Homo-oligomer: A and B are copies of this chain.
């Protein structure tokens, strides 16, 4: 059809959201594969970037059974990505720390992912992009509110 007759097609709303999720998910998976990490190993390292949780805490953060976390940490430790440190105050407890190597992998994967999403958003004109981010923020804030959470809880005084 001629350009001046071109209708701007609009995706079905659910398809639009689902497709975006699919695309972004693929980006994350590709960045994981580059570092030879599974998604769950990346999540583990991501948590350890700014925390030194116990195994139980990891179990809650990752919503996995404690036995699953044992195996997860075993494999990460075998690769030298994390280490277990015995708690000094409670003889039952192990604290999990990330190693320099683990930090390098999670850093690579997440900066790669950030670059992917920036490249994606960079395909829109700046005004569209800004409007999109505002609308996404409103959407996520409304979703969070509906679940009794404040999206900006961090920023409150």
Contacts and interface: CB of A to CB of B under 8 A. Distances in A.
Interface of A: 1, 8-11, 13-14, 16-21, 23-25, 28, 113-114, 117-118, 120-121, 123-124, 128-129, 131-140, 142-143, 146, 151-152, 155, 157
Given A18-B24, A138-B128, A140-B19, A10 B133 contact: yes
Number of copies of this protein chain within its complex: 2
Nearest to A114: B14
Contacts of A11: 133, 136-137, 140, 151
A120 B9 contact: no
Given A11-B151, A131-B131, A132-B135, 12 more contacts: A9-B137, A9-B151, A11-B133, A13-B133, A16-B136, A16-B137, A17-B136, A21-B25, A123-B142, A124-B135, A128-B135, A132-B136
A109 to B, nearest CB: 13
A9 B123 CA distance: 24
A128 B129 CA distance: 14
A123 B146 contact: yes
Contacts of A142: 123-124
A152 B9 contact: yes
